């Protein structure tokens, strides 16, 4: 009986699970409806492939590598996931009224009943949220908020002035992140984080990065979402501090009149009710978390990258500095309006930065809406997508596709300027294809509502910095921070590329720069 029990134990706990695993692996590799698509073998078998990449913060690099390795514009990224690398696929996926966000987004929801505008899968629910949240981010709303944004940019500049007087090396990543946090706190709930000038709330960025990383891992490998409580214990003190801060922020704003100021709450108040079902269960909480996590981080990544590329490209730096300093008579004249819009090279530098180093490193998964009753096949760039398949386009890969962006790893703002003279049909077609491939803020009904704010914040910050200061890369080893390391073969071997780390919204460090005030122009900052 003892021998029989031992044999039964091994069969039950080893043989059967192993046989099941082998059968499942064989099915997914040789019999699955996606079997003919190229991709890493492990990706065909399990989502653990994507999960491991997310843990290592390199999904964007791996996707780019897979497209190069397999020489195909479509690659299998998971057992039931395909990634594409063409503008046609982008259009067929994200600008298709029949699609909705993939099930992967459920892993990012704080509560299934109250998703945020980012992770709402139901299209009707998303449409309702987008309608009223969009009221806080219209061009008109931003004009009324610009003076507040401008004051925060001035604080950013005064901090640079103080550092320059003390001959400090400045790491732009934390500086830009603090600027973004202070702006988004005021825009969303009129709350002063004051991270640019005080230490007390600077823990926010660490918590945001940690939460973003976990969400990214859960989306890539939902199987480990049940372990969330274990992961949260690792950062429990700061996470609890974060929750208390957000709670205080919301309660403080709710205690004021709805029209005390024009911010996110002023347009949400009539839609979420007064009681908030204990606050945490209501719709206000997930939107507050989203605004804090994503609202400032995306622009901070773009600004940090822009400073990196300007410091590493002296000719571009000189051309942009000349444009800014010849357009405006003083730093106080730099605000939204015709003069700022006339700075075409500034916009080209921002767009080229968004192309080279897109802040959205996550893959935005889509599938056919379960409510779709058309019965028509879903075709993406000529490929019929089997039911149950999630598809997406990695921005980093598409924006470095040589077919649409020649010299794709060269930061070249001139590619966005209108060329002089007449163009041939071939040149016009290539230019149209380039623009068709560039959607850094998404497109369609899920496009980013914060696009106008991001461009305004980036434009004001870069233009004013170049008005008041000259800057360059810090000498020696500190100046290497943020750059790739020559000789590396893991996608991080390009010294002239600002390095991003995939945690849903890009994590980054550097560049380290040295600032020098321009003679006679910084008095109005003092």
Coil, helix or strand for 100? strand
DSSP label of 239: H
Euclidean distance between CA atoms 516 and 111, whole angstroms? 49
Element (H, E) at 469: strand 469-473
Return the ∠ at Cα 375 (arms to 374 and 380), rounded to 5°.
90
Q: Are 91 and 379 in contact (CB under 8 A)?
A: no
CB 324 within 8 A of CB 346: yes
What are the helix (H) ranges across 424-526?
425-436, 451-468
Contact of 492 with 485, CB cutoff 8 Å: yes
CA distance 264 to 185: 10
Pick the closest to residue 399 from 389, 388, 407, 387 (CA basis): 407
Token couple for 426: 């071939």
CB 202 within 8 A of CB 194: no
Q: Per the annotation, does 343 bind a ligand?
A: no
Full DSSP string of 52-97: HHHHTT-HHHHHHHHHHHHT-SEEEEETTEEEE-SHHHHHHHHT-T
- Please give the DSSP secondary-structure letter assigned to residue 470: E
The CB density around residue 10, as the number of other CB atoms within 10 Å, is 11
Q: Tell me the CA end-to-end span of the chain in Å, nearest whole number.
A: 88
Following DSSP, what letter does each residue of 361-413 receive, concatenated? Answer: -S---EEE-TT----PPEEETTEEEPTT-EEE--HHHHTT-TTTSSSTTS--G
8 A C-beta contact, residue 467 and residue 324: yes
177/268 Cα distance (integer angstroms): 25
The DSSP code sequence of 132-152 is HHGGGGSHHHHHHHHHHHHHH
Instruction: Calculate the alpha carbon distances from 364 to 81, 259, 390, 453 in Å.
Output: 11, 35, 10, 21
Q: How many CB atoms lie within 10 A of CB 267?
A: 18
How far is residue 228's CA from residue 219's CA, in Å, rounded to a whole number? 12
Q: Do residues 323 and 463 make contact, with C-beta atoms less than 8 angstroms apart?
A: no
Annotated binding site: 448
Annotated binding site for heme: 448
């Amino acid at each position: 009986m003892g021998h029989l029990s031992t044999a039964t134990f091994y069969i039950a706990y080893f043989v059967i699970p192993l046989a099941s695993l082998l059968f499942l692996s064989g099915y997914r590799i040789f019999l699955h409806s996606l079997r003919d698509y190229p991709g890493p073998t492990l990706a065909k078998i399990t989502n653990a492939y994507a999960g491991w990449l997310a843990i290592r913060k390199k999904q964007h690099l791996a996707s780019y590598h897979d497209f190069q390795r397999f020489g195909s514009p479509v690659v299998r990224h998971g057992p039931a996931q395909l990634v594409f690398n063409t503008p046609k696929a982008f259009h067929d996926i994200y600008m298709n009224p029949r699609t909705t966000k993939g099930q992967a987004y459920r892993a990012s929801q704080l509560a299934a009943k109250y998703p945020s505008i980012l992770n709402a899968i139901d299209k009707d629910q998303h449409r309702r949220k987008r309608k009223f949240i969009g009221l806080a981010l219209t061009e008109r709303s931003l004009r009324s908020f610009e003076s507040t944004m401008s004051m925060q940019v001035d604080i950013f500049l005064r901090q640079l002035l103080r550092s320059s007087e003390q001959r400090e090396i400045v790491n732009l990543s934390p500086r830009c992140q603090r600027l973004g946090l202070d702006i988004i706190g005021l825009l969303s709930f009129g709350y002063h984080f004051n991270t640019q000038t005080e230490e007390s709330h600077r823990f926010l960025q660490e918590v945001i990065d940690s939460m973003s990383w976990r969400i990214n891992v859960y989306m890539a490998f939902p199987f480990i979402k049940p372990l969330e409580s274990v992961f949260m214990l690792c950062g429990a003190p700061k996470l609890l501090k974060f929750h208390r801060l957000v709670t205080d922020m919301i309660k403080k704003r709710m205690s004021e009149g709805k029209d005390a100021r024009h911010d996110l709450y002023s347009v949400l108040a009539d839609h979420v009710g007064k009681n908030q079902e204990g606050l945490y269960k209501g719709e206000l909480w997930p939107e507050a978390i989203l605004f804090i996590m994503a609202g400032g981080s995306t622009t901070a990544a773009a600004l940090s990258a822009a400073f990196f590329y300007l410091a590493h490209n002296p000719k571009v730096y000189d051309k942009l500095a000349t444009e800014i300093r010849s357009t405006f008579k003083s730093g106080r004249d730099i605000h939204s309006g015709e003069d700022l819009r006339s700075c075409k090279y500034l916009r080209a530098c921002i767009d080229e930065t968004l192309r080279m180093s897109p802040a959205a490193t996550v893959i935005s998964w889509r599938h056919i809406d379960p409510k779709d009753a058309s019965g028509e096949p879903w075709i993406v760039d000529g490929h019929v997508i089997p039911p149950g398949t999630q598809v997406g386009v990695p921005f980093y890969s598409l924006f470095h596709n040589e077919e649409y962006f020649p010299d794709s790893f060269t930061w070249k703002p001139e590619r966005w300027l209108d060329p002089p003279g007449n163009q041939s049909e071939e040149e016009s077609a290539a230019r149209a294809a380039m623009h068709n491939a560039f959607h850094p803020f998404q497109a369609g009904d899920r496009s980013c509502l914060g696009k106008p704010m991001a461009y305004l914040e980036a434009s004001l910050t870069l233009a004013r910095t170049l008005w008041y200061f000259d800057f360059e890369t810090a000498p020696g080893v500190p100046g290497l921070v943020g750059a790739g390391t020559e000789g590396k073969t893991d996608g991080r071997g390009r010294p002239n590329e600002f390095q991003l780390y995939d945690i849903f919204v890009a994590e980054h460090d550097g560049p380290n720069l040295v600032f020098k005030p321009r003679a006679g122009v910084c008095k109005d900052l003092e």
